[in-house]
Amino acid sequence: MPLESTTTPKQPSSVLLIVLIVLGGIALLAFLFLAFATMFVLPRMVKTGREAHEATLKTNIVQIRAAIDRFKADTGDYPVELTDLVLPENVAPTHGIDARGRRILLPAGSYRGPYLTVSDGIGGIPVNPFNKPTESSVSDHWRYKNGVVHPAGPKGKTLDGIPYSDL
């Protein structure tokens, strides 16, 4: 004689209850995962991105300042604009500026540029990585006066605690 089952068939309401409990557990796990990611993973990702932008910014400033120094060594004066650093030798600028901002006639043949040749910059000048790519003028990215260049934008301090304006 075949054995009969001693368990009673499950009611539809108990199946629904089990499904709701499982879905609630999955939702709780998803919430805990998102909370963990928001508290620990995302801040690290943002910091890593900011570190990369700062490293690029510092490298670009060093590049521009070195080009300004080479221009001054060749011509005796600073470029009037940063765009003077990327002019080909046959289109040499006629004027420079001294440390006080006075326009000075450059000696003929003293320009040996271009001093910068960056393929992905603005006409050969490196960009400020904190600025939007749509900002297409050099003055949107850099502040330049009398041989001194600083980044235009961002406000505040670097992760090292140095004000961006002092870079």
Number of domains in the chain: 1
How far apart are the C-alpha atoms of 29 and 15, rounded to whole Å?
A: 21
**21 belongs to a structural domain:** no
For the chain, the residue count is: 167
**24 belongs to a structural domain:** no
For residue 141, with 0-12 CB atoms within 10 Å meaning exposed, 13-18 middle and 19 or more buried, which class applies?
A: buried
**25 belongs to a structural domain:** no
**118 belongs to a structural domain:** yes
Among residues 101, 90, 44, 96, the alpha carbon closest in space to that of 70 is found at: 96
Q: Residue 150: beta bridge partners?
A: 143
The pLDDT value given to residue 47: 64
Task: Pick the more confident residue, 126 or 2.
Answer: 126
The pLDDT value given to residue 19: 87
| Mean pLDDT computed over every residue of the chain | 82
pLDDT digits (tens, 9 = 90+) for 55-81: 888 888 999 999 999 999 999 999 999
Residue 27 has pLDDT above 90, yes or no: yes
Residue 3 has pLDDT above 80, yes or no: no
**94 belongs to a structural domain:** yes
The pLDDT value given to residue 26: 93
Domain that holds residue 144: 52-166
